[in-house]
Amino acid sequence: MKRKYLILFSLSGLVLTFDQLTKYLVLARTDLGAPQAIIPGFLNLVLAKNNGFAFGFLRQAPQSLQGIFFIAVPVFALILIILIFIKLRDDQMLSSIALTTILGGAIGNLIDRVQYGYVVDFLDFHLGDSHLPPFNVADLSIILGVLLMFVSTLTQKETGGEVNA
Comparing C-alpha atoms, which of 91, 80, 102 is closest to residue 19?
A: 102
Concerning whether 129 is annotated as a catalytic residue, the answer is no
Concerning whether 121 is annotated as a catalytic residue, the answer is yes
Report the DSSP beta bridge partners of residue 45.
Answer: 36, 123
Backbone angles phi, psi at 39, to 5 degrees: -125, 100
CA 52/CA 57 separation, integer angstroms: 5
Q: Which residues are within 8 A (CB) of 20 and not within 5 positions of it... i.e. 6 or more apart?
A: 108, 111
Q: Which of 19, 112, 121, 124 is catalytic?
A: 121
Q: Which of 19, 112, 124, 139 is catalytic?
A: 139
The side-by-side arrangement of strands in the sheet containing 43-50 is 36-39, 43-50, 119-127, 130-131
CA 70/CA 52 separation, integer angstroms: 8
**Which residues are annotated as catalytic?**
121, 139
